[in-house]
């Protein structure tokens, strides 16, 4: 009998372990420089009469941030200034604090400036910028609303408020603010840049590219704009243009780690793992704590099945960014493929804790549960993935396979239908739906689906293999063999050789069968099915001792292989070894008490052993299971017994 390997195309690393890009966005940019003091006590020109501290605090003298802060602090504590000028001093000290990285100190100074001068638009704008940097988007928007009300000509305030809306994923309002910033300052490259980022996040790639084009025109040395335009080209599928932009970005800034990371991603997408790894290596060399570069390099190693290096990189990504849900998910994928299922589930659990709305991680954990045989939990996770992302064709396909394994073919087919509706070029889904139709007893619809899978992907070995099984079910051995030929040409697996060998044996071509089955065993020495099928071919040419040896090896590899016991019983029967035959057929029936063939065979053995009553009972049981089965009916005729009634007496 032909074996059926796991006919589902397993998760491909480049499909579910997603390489991510680094996007560069400008921080909130202030167009205004440090405010100069308009000292009420001074009647002369400012530059002529300002003290060194005043000139340092306001930025008229070149000074370090610490020196500026010291001078501003001295002036604030001098008691010499009216509230309006004192507000400016706090404003200037706040800007020096921010430049130093002391956001809390800057926030305090901007707040004090606002208390001293409630109409100070610039202080509201700067405080909004600090709140945005602290991820207080709502507080930032409130301050920037006030700043814009007080001064509707400040392009920088519109720009910063746009950034705050962008952080809240309110892309339309962000774009409206960037539009206004550009209207007020048509040469504002950063506003074009950030509007391009918002358009990209909305999926409007053409407008995003147009904005990056303008940002680059205004600032031809903007490596960040080139990097981000490269990302949009990547997402449009134009890998060559993406790489060209990344090339230019690193030419302008040889230390731009993010651009090397993103170029590595583009090389990976082109299938050039050597260049991809070189770029990720360089990104990490430039930025040794660049978690995303470790994560992406780990994914390339995963694709190369270098699991140890992949795990080492994911470990590093997690070490440098413990909140990186993707790195936990990716490490879970590697551990799952290695068979370390408990560790994989633990990683998926942590990824979901960090990012409970990430459909991909539920999808991957669902696959792990399916592989572990926990089909109910697999279905639950895949259902959640679909709830979070109703366009996730892969999740429908995987859930369909879980239903298929539960023998719920109706639900499986419904999920495959949806996967194909979402992605009409989803060859795997056509293949898997074909499997469900085939197992449901509809080989014609199965063959139609395999045909479609091969139309989408002419080199899809699994579809040829599975169509061969369907032709075999229909009794068309020649077409089955032709499909196995093609499957072997594309992907010479033990299963394909085994099934072709079984088909040759069914045609009576035992030598060809044995040649194929020898190759199947060479490729997979632990294939119990191949030993069973080779035993059958040897039995057909009456090489009974070798056949029995093959069945014995099959049983050693798979002690519950019912067919190995059944066929070995036949070999013993043909060799006249009736006691051994009876022992084997008893075991076959224990493993499958619903096999009409096994009961009929035991009836033949018992008939030969002159146990007529038991033989009749077995023949009757075989007919009860399959009333159309001729062999047990003939046995009852020989023993002069009907389908029911007393056994004959001697």
Q: How far lies 323's CA from each of 295, 320, 328, 385, in Å?
A: 13, 9, 9, 21
Residues sharing a CB contact under 8 Å with residue 511, sequence separation 6 or more, in sequence order: none
Q: What is the mean pLDDT of each run of 10 residues along the chain (650 residues)?
A: 26 28 37 27 43 90 93 94 95 95 96 97 96 96 97 96 96 97 96 96 96 97 96 96 98 97 96 97 97 96 96 98 96 96 97 97 97 97 98 97 97 98 97 96 97 98 97 96 98 97 96 97 97 96 96 97 97 97 98 97 97 97 96 95 57
8 A C-beta contact, residue 483 and residue 475: no
pLDDT for the residue 43: 25
d(CA 181, CA 169): 19
pLDDT for the residue 22: 44
Is 574 exposed, middle or buried, given 0-12, 13-18 or 19+ CB atoms closer than 10 A?
A: middle
8 A C-beta contact, residue 234 and residue 204: no
User: Which of 598, 614, 606 lies closest to 647, judged by CA?
Assistant: 614
Half-sphere exposure of 607 (CA within 13 A, CB side): 23
Is 640 exposed, middle or buried, given 0-12, 13-18 or 19+ CB atoms closer than 10 A?
A: exposed
Phi, psi of 321 (to 5 degrees): -145, 85
8 A C-beta contact, residue 635 and residue 619: yes
Neighbours of 215 (CB within 10 A): 26
Which tokens sit at 59?
Answer: 């930025």
Residues sharing a CB contact under 8 Å with residue 447, sequence separation 6 or more, in sequence order: 434, 467, 470, 471
pLDDT for the residue 645: 52
pLDDT for the residue 270: 95
Neighbours of 461 (CB within 10 A): 19
Classify 467 as helix, strand or coil.
helix
d(CA 150, CA 336): 58
Residue 565, phi-psi category: left (phi > 0), alpha (psi -120 to 50), beta (remainder): alpha
Q: How far lies 64's CA from each of 56, 71, 106, 641, in Å?
A: 9, 11, 16, 111
């Amino acid at each position: 009998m032909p074996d059926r390997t796991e006919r589902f195309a397993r998760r491909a690393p480049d499909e579910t372990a997603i390489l991510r890009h680094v996007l560069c966005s400008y921080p909130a940019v202030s167009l205004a420089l440090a405010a100069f003091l308009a000292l009420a006590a001074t009647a002369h020109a400012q530059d002529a009469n300002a003290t060194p501290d005043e000139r340092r605090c306001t930025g008229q003298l070149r000074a370090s941030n610490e020196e500026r802060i010291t001078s501003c602090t001295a002036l604030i504590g001098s008691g010499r200034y009216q509230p309006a000028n004192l507000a400016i001093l706090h404003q200037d000290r706040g800007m020096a604090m921010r430049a130093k990285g002391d956001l809390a100190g800057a926030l305090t100074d901007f707040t004090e400036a606002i208390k001293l001068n409630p109409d100070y638009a610039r202080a509201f704008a700067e405080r909004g910028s600090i709140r945005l940097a602290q991820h207080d988007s709502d507080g930032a928007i409130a301050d920037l609303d006030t700043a814009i009300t007080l001064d509707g000509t400040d392009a920088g305030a519109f720009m910063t408020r746009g950034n705050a809306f962008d952080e809240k994923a309110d892309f339309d309002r962000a774009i409206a603010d960037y539009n206004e910033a550009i209207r007020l300052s048509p040469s504002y490259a950063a506003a074009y840049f950030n509007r391009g980022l918002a358009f990209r996040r909305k999926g409007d790639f053409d407008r995003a590219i147009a904005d990056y084009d303008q940002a680059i025109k205004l600032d031809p040395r903007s490596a960040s704009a080139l990097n981000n335009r490269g990302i949009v080209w990547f997402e449009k599928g134009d890998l060559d243009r993406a790489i060209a932009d990344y090339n230019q970005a690193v030419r302008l800034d040889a230390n731009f780690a993010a651009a090397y990371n993103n170029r590595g991603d583009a090389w990976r997408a082109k299938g050039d793992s050597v260049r991809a790894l070189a770029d990720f290596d360089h990104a990490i060399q430039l930025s040794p704590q660049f978690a995303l570069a470790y994560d992406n390099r780990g994914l390339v190693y995963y694709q190369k099945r270098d699991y140890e290096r992949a795990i080492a990189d994911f470990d590093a990504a997690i070490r440098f960014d413990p909140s990186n849900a993707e790195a936990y998910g990716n490490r879970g994928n590697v551990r799952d493929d290695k068979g370390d299922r408990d560790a994989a589930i633990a990683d998926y659990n942590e990824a979901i804790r960090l990012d409970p709305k990430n459909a991909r991680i539920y999808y991957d954990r669902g696959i792990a549960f399916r592989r572990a045989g926990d089909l109910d939990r697999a279905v639950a996770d895949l259902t959640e993935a679909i709830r979070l992302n109703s366009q996730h064709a892969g999740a429908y396909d995987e859930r369909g396979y879980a239903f298929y394994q539960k023998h719920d073919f109706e639900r499986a087919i419904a999920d495959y239908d949806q996967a194909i509706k979402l992605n009409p070029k989803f060859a795997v889904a056509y293949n898997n739906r074909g499997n469900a139709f085939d197992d449901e007893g509809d080989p014609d619809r199965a063959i139609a689906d395999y045909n479609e899978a091969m139309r989408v992907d002419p080199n899809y070995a699994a579809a040829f293999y599975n169509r061969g099984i369907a032709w075999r079910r229909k009794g068309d051995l020649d077409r089955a063999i032709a499909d196995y030929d093609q499957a072997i040409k594309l992907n010479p697996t033990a299963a394909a050789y085994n099934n072709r060998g079984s088909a040759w044996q069914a045609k009576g071509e035992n030598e060809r069968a044995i040649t194929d089955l020898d190759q199947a065993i060479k490729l997979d020495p632990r294939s119990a099915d191949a030993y069973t099928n080779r035993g059958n071919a040897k039995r057909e040419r009456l090489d009974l001792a070798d056949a029995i040896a093959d069945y014995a090896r099959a049983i050693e590899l798979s002690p519950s292989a019912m067919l190995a016991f059944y066929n070995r019983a036949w070999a013993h029967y043909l060799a006249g070894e009736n006691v051994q035959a009876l022992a084997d057929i008893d075991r076959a029936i224990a493993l499958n008490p619903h096999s009409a063939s096994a009961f009929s065979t035991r009836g033949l053995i018992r008939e030969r052993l002159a146990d007529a009553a038991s033989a009749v009972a077995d023949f009757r049981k075989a007919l009860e299971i399959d009333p159309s089965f001729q062999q047990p009916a003939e046995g009852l005729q020989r023993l002069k017994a009907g389908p029911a009634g007393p056994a004959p007496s001697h």
